[in-house]
Structure 1
Amino acid sequence: MEELKNKNSGNEIPKVTGVGGIFFFTEDPKETRDWYAKNLGLEVNDWGSTFESRNIANPEEINSLQWSPFKNGSEYFEPSKKEFMINYRVQHIEKLVENLKANNVTVLDEIATYDYGKFVHIMDSDGNKIELWEPK
Structure 2
Amino acid sequence: MGERAVGIGGVFFRARDPEALRAWYAEHLGIDMEDYGTTFTAREGDQTVWAPFAGDTDYFGPSGQQLMVNFRVRDLDAMLEQLRAAGVDVDDHAHEIEFGRFGWAVDPEGNRFELWEPA
TM-score band w.r.t. shorter chain: 0.5 to 0.7
Q: Compare 94-103 and 104-113 and name the one that shifted more.
A: 104-113
- 1:82 Cα offset (Å): 1.5
1:85-118 deviation line (CA, Å, top 9, x unaligned)? 1111111111111110001111113222222111
Partner of 1:41: 4
User: Which protein, 1 or 2, shows the higher relative CO under an 8 Å CA cutoff with sep ≥ 6?
Assistant: 1
Does residue 1:128 correspond to 2:111, yes or no? yes
Partner of 1:108: 91
Percent of pairs with identical residues: 33
Runs ≥4 in structure 1, deviation > 6 angstroms? none
Aligned length: 85
Q: Which amino acid aligns with 1:41?
A: R
Q: Against the structure 1 CA distance between its residues 127 and 54, is the aligned structure 2 distance closer, same or farther, given a 3 Å change threshold?
A: closer
Q: Between Structure 1 and Structure 2, whose CA radius of gyration is higher?
A: 1
Partner of 1:62: 45
Structure with bigger helix share is 1
Q: Against the structure 1 CA distance between its residues 115 and 81, is the aligned structure 2 distance closer, same or farther, given a 3 Å change threshold?
A: same
Query: In the aligned structure 2, how far is the partner of 1:107 from the partner of 1:114?
Result: 19
Q: Which amino acid aligns with 1:129?
A: R
- 1:40 Cα offset (Å): 6.2
Q: Against the structure 1 CA distance between its residues 40 and 74, is the aligned structure 2 distance closer, same or farther, given a 3 Å change threshold?
A: farther
Matches within 5 A, 1:1-136: 41=4, 55=43, 61-136=44-119
Q: Against the structure 1 CA distance between its residues 123 and 54, is the aligned structure 2 distance closer, same or farther, given a 3 Å change threshold?
A: closer
TM-score (normalised: structure 2): 0.61
Partner of 1:12: none
Query: In the aligned structure 1, how far is the partner of 2:118 from the partner of 2:68?
Result: 18
Q: Against the structure 1 CA distance between its residues 92 and 68, is the aligned structure 2 distance closer, same or farther, given a 3 Å change threshold?
A: same
SS of match in other structure, 2:52: strand
Query: Structure 2, unaligned stretches of length 5 or more?
Result: 7-40
When the two chains are superposed, the root-mean-square deviation of aligned CA atoms in Å is 2.3
Query: In the aligned structure 1, how far is the partner of 2:3 from the partner of 2:53?
Result: 19
Query: In the aligned structure 2, how far is the partner of 1:128 from the partner of 1:106?
Result: 11
